[in-house]
């Protein structure tokens, strides 16, 4: 295979550490006039254009973006593929919202043609918004995951997904059994896990919709295939937490249910965690588990405010999630706009560099993929974005007043959305052009 090499010149910014651990100034690298060199799908060099350009071999094409910022691709650690068609559904909190909108919408995925159509729309939306890796819930139907992985494989995307396991407390047309959920998951693992840049996640929807038998078998899959992911929901809504207590009275609390069935671990991601307590944060951190912070969803469904400072205190890995359709946007820029407000309401601040960390390296660490994605370090996958400073008239005007990269970044996160993403690259290939 011939060597393919290309370079991209622009302002370049990436996170290299968590600001909560090393301080803001040591948490990022910024090149005002930078160069990113890509070879065969990986980053081979990053630095100041003035230093790297003289050493570039003759004939290497350099694409220049004078009014743009290159960042790593965004990482969405919690999103529902089958809810694409019901994003922005009115008037309910979590449990009623599931019954009124979500379950009927997910039932359509019994039809493979519908699954293929939505998978195509969903992936285009992710890439339009600059999301190059996502941890994705399918529906209970294996075809939802087959459709998603087939579409992701064509573009060589790094994606993680799983079939929902749900054998109680849901409509008959949407439940599996403990045994069928196990067997169908196993077949999907054998077909897709580790193929190209694809990974499988064992996906019990949440404790109330799985019997103890199903949770036991979910844990068994993680033992049988040690490098699998596990994704579920936790402590999103107060009614839900009460319901878990009633269904599992023998357990100490919501997290203890998952702990008992051996679902905590280094590749386990728990969505929301709005109402976690100190002990639960400590236990999640101790087991290497991660939480997906989903601010647009937590506001939209009236669930509550995620306590990021508490998670930081325990050194708990936190990624960012759009959660569509509980959330209201595929854009992680818009999600960070809401995350800032969540912190403001708790008397805390979210620096733009911590925000960048959450959307990139923080998400990669939550997924244990920081050696492959989340930064622009040489040797990592060439998954990156070009953000356009002139995407909208207001953004363009506002950025003329910005006098630091911190201010520029914050304005991109408050005024930016899908229109801000000029180009998206995955494994060195352009997969979206605005």
- Asked whether the predicted pLDDT for residue 367 surpasses 80, the reply is yes
Is residue 350 in some structural domain?
A: no
Residue whose C-alpha is closest to residue 384's, from 26, 35, 116: 35
Is residue 392 in some structural domain?
A: yes
Mean pLDDT, residues 71-90 taken together: 93
174 and 249 co-located in one domain: yes
Is residue 365 in some structural domain?
A: no
Is residue 264 in some structural domain?
A: yes
Is residue 354 in some structural domain?
A: no
Q: What is the 3-state secondary structure (H, E, C) of 202-214?
A: EEECCHHHCCHHH
- The pLDDT, as a whole number, for residue 2 is 55
182 and 294 co-located in one domain: yes
pLDDT of 254-275, one tens digit each?
A: 999 999 999 999 999 999 999 9
Confidence band of 85 (pLDDT split at 50, 70, 90): confident
Largest CA distance in the chain: 69
Is residue 219 in some structural domain?
A: yes
79 and 142 co-located in one domain: yes
pLDDT over 90 percentage in the chain: 91
Residues in CB range of 353: below 8 A, 6 or more apart: 15, 19, 24, 27, 28, 406, 409
- The pLDDT, as a whole number, for residue 98 is 85
- The pLDDT, as a whole number, for residue 3 is 65
89 and 64 co-located in one domain: no
67 and 187 co-located in one domain: no
Q: For residue 262, give the CATH number of its domain.
A: 3.20.20.140
* CA distance linking residue 202 with residue 318, whole number of Å: 19
225 and 107 co-located in one domain: yes
- Asked whether the predicted pLDDT for residue 90 surpasses 90, the reply is no
83 and 207 co-located in one domain: yes
Query: 120-136 burial, b if ≥16 CB within 10 A, otherwise e?
Result: eebbebbbbbbbbbbbb
60 and 178 co-located in one domain: no
53 and 78 co-located in one domain: no
224 and 87 co-located in one domain: yes
Is residue 60 in some structural domain?
A: yes
Q: For residue 384, give the CATH number of its domain.
A: 2.30.40.10
pLDDT of 207-217, one tens digit each?
A: 999 999 999 99
- Write down which residue in 296, 330, 364 finishes a domain: 330
Report the number of distinct structural domains present in the chain. 2
Residue whose C-alpha is closest to residue 66's, from 90, 34, 98, 114: 34
- Write down which residue in 263, 295, 330 finishes a domain: 330
Is residue 338 in some structural domain?
A: no
12 and 65 co-located in one domain: yes
Range of the domain at 128: 74-330
- Asked whether the predicted pLDDT for residue 409 surpasses 90, the reply is yes
100 and 122 co-located in one domain: yes
Q: Is the pTM of this model over 0.75?
A: yes
């Amino acid at each position: 295979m011939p060597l393919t090499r290309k370079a991209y010149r622009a302002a370049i910014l990436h996170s290299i550490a968590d600001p909560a651990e090393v301080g803001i100034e040591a948490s990022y690298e910024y090149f005002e006039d930078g160069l990113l060199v890509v070879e065969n799908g990986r980053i081979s060099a990053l630095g100041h254009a003035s230093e790297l350009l003289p050493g570039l071999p003759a004939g290497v094409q350099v694409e220049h973006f004078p009014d743009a910022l290159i960042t790593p691709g965004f990482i969405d650690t919690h999103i529902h593929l089958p809810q694409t068609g019901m994003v922005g559904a009115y008037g309910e909190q979590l449990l009623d919202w599931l019954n009124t909108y979500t379950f009927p919408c997910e039932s359509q995925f019994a039809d493979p043609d519908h699954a293929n159509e939505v998978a195509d729309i969903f992936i285009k939306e992710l890439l339009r918004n600059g999301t190059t890796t996502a941890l994705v819930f399918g529906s209970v139907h294996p075809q939802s995951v087959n459709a998603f992985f087939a579409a992701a494989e064509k573009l060589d995307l790094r994606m993680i997904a799983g079939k929902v396991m749900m054998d109680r407390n849901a409509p008959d047309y949407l439940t599996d059994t403990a045994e069928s959920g196990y067997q169908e998951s196993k077949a999907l693992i054998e077909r897709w896990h580790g193929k190209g840049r694809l990974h499988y996640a064992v996906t019990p929807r949440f404790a109330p919709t799985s019997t103890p038998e199903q949770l036991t078998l979910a844990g068994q899959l993680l033992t049988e295939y040690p490098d699998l992911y596990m994704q579920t929901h936790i402590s999103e809504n107060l009614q839900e937490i009460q319901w878990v207590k009633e269904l599992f009275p023998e357990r100490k609390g919501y997290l203890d249910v998952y702990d008992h069935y051996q679902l905590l671990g280094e590749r386990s991601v728990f969505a929301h965690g709005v109402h976690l307590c100190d002990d639960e944060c400590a236990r999640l951190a101790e087991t290497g588990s991660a939480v997906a912070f989903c601010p647009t969803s937590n506001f939209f469904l009236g669930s509550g405010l995620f306590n990021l400072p508490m998670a930081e205190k325990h050194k708990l890995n936190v990624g960012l999630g759009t959660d569509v359709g509980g959330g209201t946007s595929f854009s992680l820029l818009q999600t960070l706009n809401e995350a800032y407000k969540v912190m403001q309401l708790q008397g805390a601040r979210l620096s733009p560099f911590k925000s960048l960390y959450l959307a990139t390296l923080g998400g990669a660490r939550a997924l244990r993929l920081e050696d492959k994605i989340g930064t622009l370090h040489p040797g990592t996958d060439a998954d990156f974005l070009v953000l356009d400073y002139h995407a909208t008239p207001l953004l363009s005007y506002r950025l003329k007043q910005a006098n630091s990269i911190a201010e520029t970044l914050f304005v991109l996160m408050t005024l930016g959305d899908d229109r801000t993403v000029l180009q998206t690259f995955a494994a060195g290939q352009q997969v979206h052009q605005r």
